[in-house]
Amino acid sequence: MTSATRPASSLIEVSGLSASYGRVAALKPVDLRVEEGEFVTILGPNGAGKTTLLRAISRLIGSSGQVRFKGDDITALPAHRLAKLGIIMVQEGRGLFGEMTVHENLLLGAYGLGGDRAAIERRFEEVFRLFPRLRERASQVAASMSGGEQQMLAVGRALMAGPKLLMLDEPSLGLAPKVAAGILDTLGELNRKGLGILLVEQKAPLALRLARRVYVLASGTVRAELPAHEISSHHDLARYYFH
């Protein structure tokens, strides 16, 4: 079926995705979807399988099940091909190249643009508008920056890739509340411009401020899928965690 005749599809749709580390099943068959321009959050306690889920979607670990992107089956594609489609992940711990400068890290984000300097320059300007601090730190080695600056760089680098779906694994980890809120606000701004976001977060109040829908993950399974406002007002997350 060609894209012209295909019915409207989710941005990403995951069906029966499971993954394991050795004999330990970290992710039991999980179904999940993110629509175009939607902000979806995955909440869950430690060890719920949230990171594993994002890694499995990104093909950074082996998994079984099906992943469709804009209706196309991308299950068999390697990780680097997914990035070229616009599926970009900001890893837990930021995953920066610490010995490289901010400038070099951002250039690596724009790897898919090849030698198109004009397009790279435009992306730089977009990222520097969102994170002016990165412009000031351009020649600084990434590892020497503060946690907040590193997280800005991690998000900025992902944006350099021109993502269609941005997946973030606990971007608030280890950050001061004000800094974390600032990063999340930026994500909200990007989402309002149409960027699909799949956010894994433990700090529920932060994530629920922005998300439209929430998946509650515990013990490798989806315990609940519901609108974000319902959780913030009526539900006790712990009830799902220990269900």
Partner 1 sequence: MTLRDITSTRLGRYGLVPVAGAIFIALLFAFVFIKGGYLLTVMQLAMIYGVFCVGLNFFMGYTGQASFGQNAFAALGGYGSAILCVQFGWEPIAALVASMAIAGIASVIVGYPTLRLRGHYLAMATFALGLITYDISVQWQSVTQGYMGYSGIPPLGVGPFTVEDERAKLVCLMVILLVGVWISGRLRNSRFGRALRAISTSELGAAALGISISRYKLAAFVIAALYASAAGSLFAHVVGFISPEVFGLQMVVVTFTMLYVGGVGTVLGPAVGAIIASLLPEIVRSTGRFQDIAYALALILMLIYVPKGLSGLANAGKKRAGEEG
Residue 116 touches partner 1, criterion: CB under 8 A: no
Instruction: Count other C-beta atoms under 10 Å from residue 21's C-beta.
Output: 11
Show contacts with partner 1 in window 135-154 (CB under 8 A): 135, 138-139
Residue 7 touches partner 1, criterion: CB under 8 A: no
Question: In whole angstroms, what is the distance from residue 208 CA to residue 137 CA?
Answer: 31
Site string for partner 1, 160-179 (x = CB under 8 A): -x------------------
Binding residue for partner 1, selected from 47, 62, 73, 80, defined by CB under 8 A: 80
Do the Cβ atoms of 187 and 168 come closer than 8 Å?
A: yes
Among residues 48, 53, 18, 61, the alpha carbon closest in space to that of 34 is found at 53
- Shortest approach of partner 1 to residue 110 CB, angstroms? 9
Stretch that binds partner 1, among 29-37, 132-140, 176-184, 229-237 (CB under 8 A): 132-140
Question: In whole angstroms, what is the distance from residue 239 CA to residue 129 CA?
Answer: 41
Which helix (H) or strand (E) segment holds residue 177: the answer is helix 177-192
Show contacts with partner 1 in window 86-115 (CB under 8 A): 88-89, 91, 95-101, 103-104, 107-109, 111-112, 114-115
Distances (CA, A) of 69 to 13, 108, 159, 179, 201: 6, 23, 19, 32, 23
Q: By CB under 8 A, name the binding residues for partner 1.
A: 58, 60, 78-81, 83-84, 88-89, 91, 95-101, 103-104, 107-109, 111-112, 114-115, 117, 120-121, 124, 128, 135, 138-139, 157, 161
